Structure 1
């Protein structure tokens, strides 16, 4: 490991593993790196920490033994075609760079097993020849939002263990859902993007998601187009989602931007007894919440942007999500109240409270173990309802986020003796009241950690 502050003369002729750190004092970083690596014929691992924006064409000519190359978090915007000379390369990390496309010749690196392209904000296409990289095991594309399609042939990479994002669509060049069929070694997290481009249930069935027994977290993501859909299109999306039933080993399940009127029936099937997290994000047209009380292991439930939904969890059948520890409900304007029989194990609760929507009136759940309460984006809330907060004797963390009209803190706050942290963010009327010497200071002075963000 070497930090280079000015022009350096290093002999790397016998070095196998190198981590170079270039400071801002180096005048021409690209030429400096090239000169340092000129005789590094035996180098196996090369990691670079630098603001370098380019590498010379002959950058890789002397690195033909290289196995691992990490150029992540540089400002690199282009990779030279000479990368094809790295015949032994197993690991390539270009995450957090400015690169826009990979050269076609990178697909000649047939032995490449790991390709990391996370958070490449400008990357918009991958090489056509990626189908030839049959030894690929890990392809990471998280937060690379400009990439709108994967090349046809990804389904041939049957050794893949990690594929963070599978993008459906792209016309004649892009992948269809069926290319997932033979990727049965996938494990961990899989996000399928562009499900609105799945044209039929037959195409969805080809994916055979139920065979992906090592995929433990599944995200089904639609591109939210806004506006109303024709009834025929809504029905097609509902049918496709019903077919995309995952393996019962699934532990986490999320749906984003879905515009069907109902969620798949399999989500409430007791065979999904391993599910510990469900996230329903912007399912704006759904009118009914599935019977999630049948999921005995469910610990985290997040519901956001369900504009048509009204949740009533009552009855005497014991469907009460007995293991639930975290519940977050946001932007559900028709939801008037919390279910009164929420499980007593609940530790974290995040919700909107509004004057005409969610309120804390009527029968309230008894939550003796709740230690984290978040009041999130309640623009019309002017004051807290009295009574309920005082019951939360185990409360340790209280967050109030984006409540611009909230003028005071609840009266019960001084009685919450377990409270250890109070966070107030973007609540302008509360800021002066809660600072040292403000009107509410005496009510919160006992709290060890107070964080106020304007």
Structure 2
């Protein structure tokens, strides 16, 4: 447990450093030396804590004093994170007021992962020259309708669809007007297939990255055909290179996800699709380099969804499979596993929190350089029987391989 806490604290500190280094903070407190000095001191203290955290993993984590200090540091990081959230919001409000008085000259607005920010100012439309708006990870309840007035917007990380019972906010029909959109959140608010089709994603030729997300707070398994039909209607243009699907509520995915027409896909992430039983058929996508599967609680086997005789995942270099509660084994054919026909270029494999997984590798992986296995308690062998052993430069196992 302590090792996981160390990793979490280290990652949280890295995010805090990035946020404290943003340009918005010195601009907001320009001329207020005392506040800037205090923020600089906070940054120095956090840097010192980061050094200690990195060193903690090499110390005796069973020491009670070390464990207590780590948990106290976790509380401090949360408080510092809340402080930066408030600063970010004030910076946004100040920027809007300033831009209104200076002919709306702002071009970039970075608000990603401001976890306390639930609403954007209603006068967002005054930023008529805005080129880049990043609100990824911001738990917005709705978005101002004026977002459509930003005619010069060249990047919009995502929109959040409003509840259909609310008059304001963004509805699916307006999504079609946003040329440079990269994600749609709040898909649980779509009424039917007709509404989903209004986004016209298949016509957006410039769409290279797309995130489709249902709200995790309202997750209810939906086994109806309607849910799958909605995902069918959200089929993007085949120029797409990066795809993320989060909190999808049906048991099976749309066929377009693994369609040969989407051979331009370079990365796919499927996360928290807790009702999913069968993963999409993506092994034949010729240029897929990164695949992340996380939190698909009903998937028992990986591999039997692939029915092709040729090489599978021929370009895949990174594979991460995490938090799979009932996943037990790989189910590729023996011929594929022993002949190097699957994952021939795989360099990095991460298996984390898969408590029922019994076999680590799906066969001979000739290009494997880094292997991380963590919290896979039932794993009894690293390689299947009759598989050629090979040297792995980097191997990390934690409470898993025995």
Structure 1 Cα separation of the partners of residues 213 and 274 of structure 2:
14
Match of 2:225 among 222, 232, 235: 235
Match of 2:39 among 51, 54, 58: 51
Alpha-carbon deviations, 1:284-337, whole Å to 9, x = none? 212222221231111112112222223315655326121122222221514422
Alpha-carbon deviations, 1:14-59, whole Å to 9, x = none? xxxx99979xxxxxx96x8169xxxxxxxxxxxx88739xxxxxxx
User: What is the aligned partner in structure 2 of residue 102 from structure 1?
Assistant: 93
Say whether residues 1:252 and 2:250 are aligned partners: no
SS in 1 for 2:148: helix
User: What is the aligned partner in structure 2 of residue 422 from structure 1?
Assistant: none
- Whether the aligned pair in 2 keeps the contact of 1:301 and 1:328 (CA below 8 Å) is yes
Deviation for aligned residue 1:106: 5.9
- Give the TM-score normalised by structure 2: 0.69
Deviation for aligned residue 1:212: 2.6
- Give the TM-score normalised by structure 1: 0.61
Deviation for aligned residue 1:125: 1.7
Deviation for aligned residue 1:121: 3.4
User: What is the aligned partner in structure 2 of residue 218 from structure 1?
Assistant: 210
Deviates more, 1:365-374 or 1:166-175: 166-175
User: What is the aligned partner in structure 1 of residue 342 from structure 2?
Assistant: 342
Structure 2 Cα separation of the partners of residues 386 and 373 of structure 1:
12
Deviation for aligned residue 1:378: 2.0
User: What is the aligned partner in structure 1 of residue 286 from structure 2?
Assistant: 296
RMSD: 3.8
User: What is the aligned partner in structure 2 of residue 393 from structure 1?
Assistant: 390
User: What is the aligned partner in structure 2 of residue 173 from structure 1?
Assistant: 168
SS in 2 for 1:102: helix
Q: Which residues of 2 match residues 59-70 of structure 1 at below 5 A?
A: none
Deviation for aligned residue 1:237: 2.3
Report the CA distance shift for 1:314/1:327 in structure 2 as closer, same or farther (over 3 A).
same
Structure 2 Cα separation of the partners of residues 212 and 120 of structure 1:
28
SS in 2 for 1:350: strand
Match of 1:203 among 187, 195, 202: 195
User: What is the aligned partner in structure 2 of residue 265 from structure 1?
Assistant: 255
Structure 2 Cα separation of the partners of residues 387 and 375 of structure 1:
16
Say whether residues 1:278 and 2:273 are aligned partners: no
Match of 1:125 among 116, 119, 123: 119
Say whether residues 1:333 and 2:326 are aligned partners: yes
SS in 2 for 1:398: strand
- Whether the aligned pair in 2 keeps the contact of 1:304 and 1:329 (CA below 8 Å) is yes
Alpha-carbon deviations, 1:349-379, whole Å to 9, x = none? 1225867x32228x95111211111113324
Deviation for aligned residue 1:275: 0.5
Say whether residues 1:158 and 2:151 are aligned partners: yes
- Whether the aligned pair in 1 keeps the contact of 2:222 and 2:250 (CA below 8 Å) is no
Alignment length (residue pairs): 324
Structure 2 Cα separation of the partners of residues 49 and 313 of structure 1:
58
- Whether the aligned pair in 2 keeps the contact of 1:210 and 1:247 (CA below 8 Å) is yes
Deviation for aligned residue 1:123: 2.4
- Whether the aligned pair in 2 keeps the contact of 1:100 and 1:124 (CA below 8 Å) is no
- Whether the aligned pair in 2 keeps the contact of 1:131 and 1:156 (CA below 8 Å) is yes
Report the CA distance shift for 1:365/1:125 in structure 2 as closer, same or farther (over 3 A).
same
Report the CA distance shift for 1:400/1:139 in structure 2 as closer, same or farther (over 3 A).
same
Q: Which has the larger radius of gyration?
A: 1
Structure 2 Cα separation of the partners of residues 224 and 250 of structure 1:
25
Structure 2 Cα separation of the partners of residues 334 and 323 of structure 1:
24
- Whether the aligned pair in 1 keeps the contact of 2:258 and 2:280 (CA below 8 Å) is yes
Q: Which runs of 5+ in 1 are unaligned?
A: 1-17, 23-28, 36-47, 53-72, 79-95, 411-454
Report the CA distance shift for 1:169/1:151 in structure 2 as closer, same or farther (over 3 A).
same
Structure 2 Cα separation of the partners of residues 350 and 77 of structure 1:
32
SS in 2 for 1:97: helix
User: What is the aligned partner in structure 2 of residue 351 from structure 1?
Assistant: 351
Say whether residues 1:144 and 2:143 are aligned partners: no
- Whether the aligned pair in 2 keeps the contact of 1:137 and 1:159 (CA below 8 Å) is yes
Report the CA distance shift for 1:314/1:19 in structure 2 as closer, same or farther (over 3 A).
closer
Report the CA distance shift for 1:291/1:258 in structure 2 as closer, same or farther (over 3 A).
same
Structure 1 Cα separation of the partners of residues 327 and 26 of structure 2:
55
Deviates more, 1:134-143 or 1:267-276: 134-143
SS in 1 for 2:145: coil
SS in 2 for 1:292: coil
Structure 2 Cα separation of the partners of residues 19 and 290 of structure 1:
42
